[in-house]
Chains A and B, each alone.
Chain A
Amino acid sequence: MARMKFICDAERCIECNGCVTACKSEHEVPWGVNRRRLVTVNDGKPGERSISVACMHCTDAPCMAVCPVDCFYKTEEGVVLHDKDLCVGCGYCFYACPFGAPQFPQAGAFGLRGKMDKCTYCAGGPEENGSAEEFRKYGRNRLAEGKLPACAEMCSTKALLAGDAEVLTRIYKTRVVTRGKGEEIWGWSMAYGGSGKLADQPGGRA
């Protein structure tokens, strides 16, 4: 088994937040914690792009390197997971992560920082697979059910893909070869015809 990865096709993402909702619903993630979120650049302007971001399950994960209690581990499939029983909620992983993936729920009446929570690639954690304890701490273990992460399987435009990196590469390559790339394949001219130039679109500037 090669490495399990996510890829988000910014040409397809329509900022529907379906992936965010699927993740929250699937794992019953508490209020204030977002394992997945959408980032939009050039919001409201021609050429706007959105991308779905969560833990990228890095090959050389910086969170693993900085954790003072060594609570991170990597599965055979390359999924980065952690043991919540060991986590002290120090927040080092949050500073180290370039994607802002680690989340910290507020615990207690004074808003104390709880144990770190992040995307598990729907692979649960170090508890018995499919057990109530695993669900309570880490959410549902879809990988043990032979399923892919809920966010990717729920994505209506299939912008967000999950799976073996080699399979994802083949899917993405097929797309790019079939549709082409750049401004001409998506947006105003694709939807309404006419010029594909940004300057010729309503609200576009030369």
Chain B
Amino acid sequence: MRTIAHAAAVAAAAIWLAGCTEVAQEPGKSYAGKEDGKPYASDLFKGDKAKWEGALAERSLKQNEYVRMQDNKK
């Protein structure tokens, strides 16, 4: 009896924890239009996704003037 109660508690805990999982947020609908090209496929980045992401990250960080001020002091 005690084993069954123990197993039930473990199962209940597993089900309860499953509720913490992030559910997919993408709508289940399909896109019916034309395929769009990748932004890093241009001549500038030649398909190098890492280089493109690096360029964007650099520009994003330049929006932080606290960092910019420190860079200027150096």
Interface residues of A, Cβ cutoff 8 Å to B: 1, 59-61, 64-65, 67, 69-77, 81-83, 85-86, 123-130, 141, 143-148, 152-153, 158, 161-164, 167-168, 170-171, 174-175, 178
Contacts and interface: CB of A to CB of B under 8 A. Distances in A.
Contacts of A127: 34
B9 interface: no
B60 A71 contact: no
Given A128-B37, A144-B42, A167-B60, A74 B26 contact: yes
B36 A126 contact: yes
Name the 8 nearest CB pairs between A and B, nearest first.
A83-B33, A163-B60, A146-B55, A73-B31, A126-B34, A70-B32, A126-B36, A144-B39
Interface residues on B, range: 20 to 34
B39 A123 contact: yes
Interface of B: 25-27, 29-42, 44-45, 49, 52-53, 55-57, 59-61, 63-67
